[in-house]
């Protein structure tokens, strides 16, 4: 597999270039690092060190497209979190910590993988899918792609404006939003959970048969959506899943 690193993944210094608020609960942290090139969908490990030497590690999906100048992590604030509140409340440009990666050889999409490409994200599960959408736009715009994104509210839709811009600029990129705790804003969107009935309707409207499907979000979201896909005749073998932790509440599902 090409995603297997040939040398050990060493811890390297990363410096924060800027922090951008995306939603009330998510910030993007842009990093300057010397990490090797990543594939869309991969993640990095980060390590923070306290003055007394105590260390904490976490994994975060990469939001930026392969080749982007800065490495972007989108970090959701978990109320009881040990690490995410640091990025929301304390971190500022110039701060440094350690990072290693990129990691993961399964939940990745490359232009050569082609499509039709079906992306399904719940809450912050959209982050690795965003890397795929951003990668696809310049290098494989002919790839039929549908991003179905479930968030709790309109204001919690990460990358909302960028997604609208991607959709407007590209007839092969379709976006369907569903908000689970707020009425929809557009008639072609939805405001309920991605249950089997809704998913069937969305896929029928899309009209393409997916060759690759990527599902990312909380475990409850991924379980519900991936089993609905299988029930709808999508082969299990083309469905790749990534499930975010267990200690965060169910997001956008």
Partner 1 sequence: MATRGFSGRPPPKEVAARLPPGQYRTDDFPVLSMGPTPDVDLSAWKFTLSNGLKPIASWTWSEFERLPRTRWRGDIHCVTKWSKFDTPWEGVGIDDLFMAAGVTSPSPYALALSYDGYDTNVPVADLAGGRAMIATRFEGAPLLAEHGGPARLLVPHLYFWKSAKWLKELRFTQKNEAGFWELRGYHMYGDPWREQRYTNDP
Strands 43-49 and 96-103: antiparallel
Minimum Å gap between C-beta 8 and partner 1 is 4
Minimum Å gap between C-beta 234 and partner 1 is 9
Three-state secondary structure call for residue 142: coil
Which of these, 228, 148, 150, lies nearest to 196 by C-alpha position?
228
Q: Which residue in this structure is represented by tokens 């790749």? A: 240
Give 55 or 155: the residue with its C-beta nearer to partner 1. Answer: 55
Q: Which residue in this structure is represented by tokens 């073998």? A: 237
Give 83 or 198: the residue with its C-beta nearer to partner 1. Answer: 83
Strands 12-23 and 26-32: antiparallel
Three-state secondary structure call for residue 36: coil
Q: Which residues bind partner 1 (CB under 8 A)?
A: 1, 3-9, 13, 45, 47-52, 54-59, 82-83, 86, 90-91, 95-97, 103-106, 219, 223, 226-227, 229-230, 236-237, 239-241, 243, 245-247
| 35/72 Cα distance (integer angstroms) | 12
Give 166 or 202: the residue with its C-beta nearer to partner 1. Answer: 202
Minimum Å gap between C-beta 77 and partner 1 is 15
Give 24 or 53: the residue with its C-beta nearer to partner 1. Answer: 53
């Amino acid at each position: 597999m090409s995603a297997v690193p040939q040398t050990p993944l060493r811890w390297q210094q990363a410096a924060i270039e800027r922090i951008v608020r995306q939603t009330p609960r998510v910030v993007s942290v842009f990093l300057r690092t010397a990490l090797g090139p990543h594939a869309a969908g991969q993640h990095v490990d980060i390590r923070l060190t306290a003055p007394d030497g105590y260390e904490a590690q976490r994994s975060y999906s990469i939001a930026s497209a392969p080749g982007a100048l800065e490495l972007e992590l989108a970090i959701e604030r978990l109320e009881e979190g040990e690490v995410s509140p640091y990025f929301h409340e304390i971190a500022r440009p110039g701060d440094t910590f350690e990072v290693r990666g990129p990691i993961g050889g399964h939940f990745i999409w490359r232009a050569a993988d082609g499509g039709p490409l079906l992306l399904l994200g719940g809450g912050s599960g959209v982050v690795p899918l965003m890397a795929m959408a951003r990668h696809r736009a310049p290098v494989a715009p002919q790839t039929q792609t549908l991003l179905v994104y479930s968030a709790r509210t309109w204001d919690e839709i990460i990358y909302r404006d960028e997604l609208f811009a991607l959709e407007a600029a590209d007839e092969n990129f379709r976006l369907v939003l569903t908000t689970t705790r707020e009425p929809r804003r557009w008639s072609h969107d939805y405001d309920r959970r991605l249950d089997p009935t809704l998913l069937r309707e969305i896929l029928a409207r899309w009209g393409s048969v997916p060759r690759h499907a990527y599902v990312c979000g909380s475990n409850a979201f991924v379980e519900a959506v991936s089993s609905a896909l299988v029930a709808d005749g999508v082969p299990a073998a083309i469905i790749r899943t990534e499930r975010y932790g267990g200690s965060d509440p169910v997001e956008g599902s």
